[in-house]
Amino acid sequence: MFDGFAIADIDVGDARIHVRHGGEGPPLVLLHGHPRTGATWHRVAPRLVRQGFTVVVPDLRGYGRSTAPAPRPDHAQASKRAMAGDLLALMRTLGHDRFDLVGHDRGSYAAFRLAMDHPEAVRRVALLDCIPIVEHLDRISPEFATAWYHWFFFAQPDIPERVIGADPDGWYGGAPEQMGAENFAERRSAVHRTEVVRAMLEDYRAGLTVDRADEEADRAAGRRLQVPLLVLWSLRDDLEQLFGDPLAIWRDWAMDVRGHGIDSGHHMAEDAPEPLSDALTAFFHG
């Protein structure tokens, strides 16, 4: 995976971020979702390098081989604002003060927060399989609660750690032939480490508490994304079925919104790397 990419572990303050980076040209950051690592981008990152980007692929704090502080009662150590701070420090260390940004799933919330809080650092942002957390919660239905029960299960104290820890392979599943053998092995190694599982659960606990409060404050203040936004969603997942047109939702949160569905399952970087790479290239070269 990631042939020709450099690998580093960079201290950003209260975390150490594991990162792969390679290529030449405008800097572009790719952020993974749960329970993946940066390796989920192994079919996309080389394509983007060939399209003329410097591609930076970190593990989010607490995920994969990145570290995270010990959990706090308010879960702020797992907040998307903390993750955004990591990424800003990481990119400055790599010599990039302004960059393009992609986030999928949980990584999309870190990307959203970074673009919202630091528009001077983000040129354009793409958010994949994502609407704001508060928009999800405003639309709670039996269908959403059933399909996305893990949001609320993961928020419970201690119980999820015990359940997942009893059988990480059974809980997270996945297939090497679909994910790619090395990507699968990296993900599997990560979820067998108790500190990683705890950090990933803290990500969800922060989502329903401190991150939710940050989004509510944005909405109350009328804050919107000032940078161009590309929204992509998986047509074989359930985001559109549950919530309708994601673009209509995002128009309340951003000044410049465009996007479309991708014929893919949820992990589109693994399932549909070519159409995803083409969409990202067109947007970021635009």
> Tokens in use for 46?
């080389």
φ and ψ at 122, to 5 degrees? -110, 120
* Longest CA span, the chain: 48
Q: What distance in Å separates the CA atoms of residue 250 and residue 116, rounded to the nearest whole number?
A: 13
CA nearest to 164, candidates 120, 135, 133, 198: 198
- Could you say which of 14, 118, 266, 278 is catalytic? 266
- Could you say which of 59, 86, 105, 211 is catalytic? 105
At residue 162, the 3 state secondary structure works out as helix
Per-residue DSSP letter, 76: G
Asked if 1 and 56 count as a contact pair (C-beta separation under 8 A), the reply is no
- Annotation says 136 is catalytic: no
- Annotation says 105 is catalytic: yes
Between vectors from CA 127 to CA 125 and to CA 130, what angle results, nearest 5°? Answer: 155
Burial category of 213 from C-beta neighbours within 10 Å (exposed 0-12, middle 13-18, buried 19 and up) = middle
Q: Which residues are catalytic?
A: 105, 266
